[in-house]
Amino acid sequence: MELTDQSFLAEEKIGKLMRKYSLPCIISLLVGALYNIVDQIFIANASYLGSYGNAANTVVFPLTVIALAIAVMIGDGCCAFVSLSLGKGEQDKAGSSIALSVVMAAVSSILLCAVYLVFADPIITMFGGTVNEETFSLSKEYFFYISLGIPFYMFGQAMNPVIRADGSPKFAMASTLLGAVLNIVLDPIFIFGFQWGMRGAAIATVIGQIATALLAVWYLFHTKTVKLGKKDLHFSGRVVANTLSLGLCSFLSQVSLVAAMAAINNMVRKYGAIDPIFGQETYAQIPMAVVGIVMKVFQIVISIVIGMAAGCIPVVGYNMGANKRERVKKLFSLLLACEAAVGFAALLAVELLPRQLIALFGSANESVYYTEFAVKAFRIYLCMIVFACLNKAAFIFLQAMGKAAASTALSMIREIVFGVGFALILPLFFGLDGVLYSMPVSDILTAVVSACIILSTYKQLSAVPKAAV
């Protein structure tokens, strides 16, 4: 294995490094988020699908997040491990981590695909697909084709952070962008032209995922910082364990989000059924469709937030490995300021422009109840989005520093203890509105815990003798 110099990570200006690594990562994640969001926009504007198709998309979405959770555990863990190894001059471990991550991504994706295909009906039921017969039918159709694309999706997503760690953030961005562009082009052709409905939306998505995966395979034969050789495929339990432990926070962050979404979907189904309006068969799918749309808009914002933080992983890891703690502290401060700015911009959008946002998702074809509930959902569910942005930044930055335990604990507190807990408890007192209140309450309480850990991290970085900046 050969290695090229990455010492510039410890010497270049912090702001310039953040722009160089975070911007491509932001674009990559935004483009990745667009896969499902674009499907939902075209589905919503197809009169023969409408809110039923939107609800089906909402049911299937958490199942794609499970696949993403496994992929990012492998990819983000590898990215952090490689960066830390290069900072310490341990080149052999970096190459071994990449090679073994390729194998783990391929095997895990095939296994998950098989599980999805065999247990489709109970899985869809578990995530609220039985809100009505039409929603269940469309969910099954969409889920079948999405499941066929799982191996390509997971491999592409797992290799994306690996490619960034190798020093090619622009290639990582371009490979994801190609897949999304194909999806955007093919969606209207398959949904409106061929009238393939949910099947068409899913097939367009899978074709884009295949393109991204193929580019990732090509890159693995043309790496530039870490040159892979046959010896890197030698199994090392320690390297696998360290790689996965560093990616565990990313996994738990995603999979715990799935648990929260499952709880929310089922509470929406349960309490929507006893609502005076949404208890009617004609409108039963509206709350689930709307909550799914609000989550997708939130996903766009969080993609920017995670992109900023994840783009910093190679820089943080290298400087931690090289014991340049003052640079890490400066980067943390800059990151938190940028994340707060994104959060405030998003807050203005969801509070002032909710009708414009829901109009993108076919509100013109729906009843007045659809728009009214959507406006309320945007304004309540995302009213503490600034805290949500800062919380995510703290989770990922701690992971990049090698503090997997603290990062994992924060993520679990947010998504499982608060996210699932309040989604189950608050509807008991506030009905369907309680589902909406669960998000801001969770973000406020998590922010209190995050603030304590952030202050502790600053003290730790300041306590170490300052290296030259």
Mean pLDDT over 23-52 rounds to: 80
State pLDDT tens for residues 295-351. 889 988 988 998 888 888 778 878 887 788 888 888 888 999 999 999 999 999 999
**More confident site: 90 or 434:** 434
226 pLDDT above the threshold of 80: no
pLDDT at 229: 65
CA distance to 58, 114, 129, 256, 422, per residue, from 125 (Å) = 13, 18, 5, 19, 22
- Reported as a pLDDT band with limits 50, 70 and 90, residue 3 is very low
CA dist., res. 439 & res. 437, Å (int): 6
**More confident site: 462 or 157:** 157
Whether the Cβ atoms of residue 327 and residue 67 lie closer than 8 Å to each other:
no
Q: For the range 369-374, what are the long-range contacts, defined as Cβ-Cβ under 8 Å and sequence gap of 24 or more?
A: 369/277, 369/278, 369/283, 369/286, 370/51, 370/286, 370/289, 370/290, 373/278, 373/286, 373/287, 373/290, 374/290, 374/293, 374/294
State pLDDT tens for residues 100-155. 999 999 999 999 999 999 999 999 999 988 888 899 999 999 999 999 999 999 99
Whether the Cβ atoms of residue 311 and residue 341 lie closer than 8 Å to each other:
no
Residue 468, number of CB atoms within 10 A of its CB:
8
Record the tokens describing residue 439, joined without a space.
């998000």
Torsion, Cα 170 175 36 392, to 10 degrees, reads -30
State pLDDT tens for residues 42-97. 988 888 888 889 889 889 988 998 999 899 899 989 988 887 787 777 777 788 88
Q: Is the dihedral of CA 87, 88, 91, 95 positive or negative?
A: negative
- Read off the amino acid at residue 391: N
465 pLDDT above the threshold of 70: no
Residue 323 falls in which region: left (phi positive, over 0), alpha (psi -120 to 50) or beta: left
Buried b / exposed e over 176-185, threshold 16 CB at 10 Å, is bbbbbebbbe
Does this model's pTM top 0.75? yes
Q: What is the DSSP string of 126-149?
A: HTTGGGSHHHHHHHHHHHHHHHHT
CA distance to 264, 266, 272, per residue, from 257 (Å) = 10, 14, 21
Mean pLDDT score of the chain, rounded to an integer?
A: 87
Residue 126, number of CB atoms within 10 A of its CB:
16
Supply angle C-alpha 112, 115, 118, rounded to 5: 150
Whether the Cβ atoms of residue 427 and residue 267 lie closer than 8 Å to each other:
yes
